Amino acid sequence: MNDDHAQLLAELRALAETALDRLEPILQRAAAPHAAADAAGTAAGTGQWSGCTWCPVCALAALIRGEQHDLVTLLAGQASVLIAVLRQILDEHTDHDPSGPGAPEPGPGDGGGTPEPDGGPAFEPITVTVKR
């Protein structure tokens, strides 16, 4: 991996971290249980959606109004789990340098192999026999 690729990879990781940092509080607020609105001292029926619990149109309407909806809560909870998994993957690969020690040697199918005199990879012709 050359310096341009490493720099691009670092910038993409920083972009992903920034996006996850901004999405996480929004999803946590949407995933908050209905009891949180009642515990805040709001009147019964205020701040909660009283319509159907499965309809995506009703969920979108509740989300726009700032009301709690079961479908939005469920999706936000699942998205929070997805963000946690993405953060874990980013953390695992941030410390990993693919060109560092212990990196696997490129094989013939990876563009490796014996280089040509001009520096490009060498390809060995193979014969394929199709039996009918």
Phi and psi torsions of 52, nearest 5° = -70, 160
Residue at 111: amino acid letter? G
Predicted pLDDT of residue 18: 92
Q: In this model, does residue 104 exceed pLDDT 80?
A: no
Structure tokens at 92: 């695992």
Predicted pLDDT of residue 101: 45
Tell me the average pLDDT of the chain.
74
| Per-residue pLDDT tens digits for 74-98 | 888 899 899 999 989 888 877 655 5
- By the 8 A CB rule, do 10 and 16 touch? no
Q: Where are the domains of the chain?
A: 3-107
Segment 19-47 mean pLDDT: 67
Q: Look up the pTM and report it.
A: 0.52
- By the 8 A CB rule, do 123 and 107 touch? no
